[in-house]
Amino acid sequence: MTILQNRGNISSKIWFICDLTDEDKQNGAVLSGSASYHFDKMLSEASLPEPFITYWENNSNLLNLLHTYHPPLIGTVGKNATKEFVPSVASKKKPFDVQLDKQAGSLLISPKFNFNHYVVPFWSVDRIYSEWAYRDIYINLDLGRIKEELSYYENMGKLNELPKYNFLLEPSYGDLIDFLMGCMTKKYISHDIETIRPTKKSIKYASHPGYPYIMGFARSRSEAVSFSYWDYSPKELVNIWRLCNALFQSVPIIGQNYFNFDLWFQEALGFNMNPKLIHDTYIRAHILWPELEKSLQFLTKQYTRQPYYKDEGKNWSPKQKKDYMKYNALDCVVQYTVFEEQEKEFNVRQHLK
């Protein structure tokens, strides 16, 4: 077993654990050759201090080193490095791969470390050669995540906790009414719907648009409610729907891709929507960063500290209704956060407002 050369400052608060390439094995050093030049340049452009760069494959001493030096921020560079330390993000289906297009930049926790840390997945450097446009995202968002966390750690002496939420899921009628009444006086609220669609077995699969099933509102970055459109008595539903209608008529609504999706369903159900009150984070992203993706998945990575979660909203059934409500509530608070962060950007780039 050949021992490859690590590099950098072993006492650094930032470690990068890399997949090895054939070139690395030939050169006897991790992240060697042209990859080394590109990576160092990106670290410099991200204004990060010198990290420690090592590898995981056949590196029996790695865990000992990690538990000796306790780096709070650990970047896993490559799919396999990520899978090695955060196996929970690997796909449950063959080939059990890690999808870095979803996970890169997320704040994850490894079950292999018993000290406070975040693991942040990164693409291998060779991704940049084939898709140079990703370089800016790599530097400003992925490495930018590390930089932000490091800054907090150095100022506060500890890692910044992940966002905490206060979700009201499948609420009682009374709790729901209270929450919605509380929304009436807000400057803005975030709103999202989830639909239920025919399964693959159905003849209506891919042709029926589905029915709205779950609705959520957030009135801050952390507080949200999610409930089913249909789960209450008719008398209660009349009151709930009327209250929702009043909200749509009078309180500015934050949504994601709202004009292309949610608005149509709500109008079809008979709500008197007021499009002039809608703030669509998708449109805002289009003005601020037309070149970048505008999906909520990407905006979550760009503007929030919420780790990737969008897979939780796929392939669900009514048996997992409460999980789906949690996913819906998360969408609402994330949208709220994205909106406020975008607002900060508009305040700096006022000519785009």
Footprint of other proteins on this chain (CB under 8 A)? 130-133, 135-137, 207-209, 259-261, 263-265, 268, 275-276, 278-280, 282-291, 294, 346, 351-353
Q: State which residue, 45 or 323, has the beta carbon closest to other proteins.
A: 45
Q: 258: helix, coil or strand?
A: helix
Please give the DSSP secondary-structure letter assigned to residue 66.
H
Our CB check for other proteins shows the closer of 109 and 283 to be 283
Name the token pair of 317: 């059934």
* Start-end of H helices in the chain: 22-27, 33-45, 62-69, 79-85, 100-103, 126-130, 134-137, 143-156, 173-183, 234-250, 262-269, 281-288, 296-303, 321-348
**CA dist., res. 82 & res. 53, Å (int):** 15
Task: Work out how close the CB of 130 gets to other proteins at its nearest, in angstroms, rounded to a whole number.
Answer: 4
Q: Is the CB of residue 304 less than 8 Å from the CB of residue 338?
A: yes
Q: How far is the CB of 65 from other proteins (least distance, A)?
A: 33
Quick check: 314 and 321 in contact, CB under 8 A?
no
Which residue, 43 or 225, is less far from other proteins as judged by CB?
43
Q: Which is nearer to other proteins, 17 or 100 (CB)?
A: 100
Candidates 22, 266, 24; CA nearest to 7 is: 24
Identify whether the C-beta of residue 120 lies closer than 8 Å to the C-beta of residue 150. Answer: no
Distance CA 204, CA 198 (A): 6
* Token digits of residue 101: 């297009």
Per the listing, tokens 């990068």 go with 16
- Token pair of 248 as six digits: 């749509």
Q: How far is the CB of 126 from other proteins (least distance, A)?
A: 10
Q: To the nearest whole angstrom, how small is the minimum distance from the Cβ of residue 204 to other proteins?
A: 10
Give me the least distance between CB of 129 and other proteins, in Å please.
9
Q: Which residue has the tokens 């994601």?
A: 256
Kindly state the smallest distance separating residue 279's Cβ from other proteins, in Å. 7
Distance separating alpha carbons of residues 296 and 213, to the nearest angstrom: 20
Let me know how long the chain is. Answer: 353
- The least distance separating other proteins from the CB of residue 24, rounded to whole angstroms, comes to 19
Which CB atom, from 108 or from 214, has the smaller least distance to other proteins? 214
Nearer to other proteins, 126 or 323 (CB): 126
Name the minimum Å distance from CB 226 to other proteins: 22
Tally DSSP H helices, then E strands, for the chain: 14, 11
Query: Measured between alpha carbons, how far is residue 327 from residues 169, 194, 225, 307, 322 in Å?
Result: 10, 9, 11, 13, 9
Smallest distance from other proteins to CB 334, Å = 19
Q: Three-class SS of residue 220?
A: coil
Residue closer to other proteins (CB basis): 69 or 261: 261
Q: Residue 107 has which token pair?
A: 């704040």
CB closer to other proteins, 22 vs 161: 22
Smaller CB separation from other proteins, 115 or 264: 264
